[in-house]
């Protein structure tokens, strides 16, 4: 059975590219355009992994990650932060908040796939 990945990102071009790459590699993909929608879909769909942008409207990725980790329903879902914010502070903040990995945009699709596969194995 295919693993289900929730991609939370407000950038249409990035979303389209990531979704097509994930589907081409056999994943089921659900999408959300902001943190509020991402939380709702995480609770409703129970994805195997979440790719989460940081800079988004309504609720940023840090806030979304905190809420995911506070909820018993979503706490155990691995989250990979997926963002243009590549400063050490951003990576550390995400790791401390419970993210299992971090991908900086622009990204190498093979690196993204390898990080996703690794997170799903843990």
CATH classification of the domain holding 99: 3.40.50.2300
Distance CA 109, CA 115 (A): 10
Q: Residue 116 sits in which domain range?
A: 4-121
| Token code pair at residue 5 | 């990945």
**Domains: count for the chain:** 1
Distance CA 43, CA 101 (A): 21
pLDDT tens digit sequence for 84-101: 877 888 888 899 999 999
Its pTM stands at: 0.95
Residues in the chain with pLDDT values less than 50: none
């Amino acid at each position: 059975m295919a693993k289900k990945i929730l991609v939370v990102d407000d950038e249409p071009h990035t979303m389209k590219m990531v979704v097509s790459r994930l589907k081409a590699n056999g994943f089921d993909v659900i999408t959300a355009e902001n943190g509020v929608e991402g939380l709702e879909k995480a609770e409703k769909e129970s994805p195997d992994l979440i790719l989460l942008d940081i800079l988004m409207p309504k609720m940023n990725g840090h806030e979304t990650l905190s809420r995911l980790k506070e909820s018993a329903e979503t706490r155990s879902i691995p989250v990979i932060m997926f963002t243009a914010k590549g400063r050490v502070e951003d990576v550390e903040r995400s790791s401390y908040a419970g993210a299992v990995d971090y991908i900086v945009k622009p990204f190498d699709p093979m690196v993204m796939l390898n990080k996703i596969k690794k997170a799903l194995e843990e």
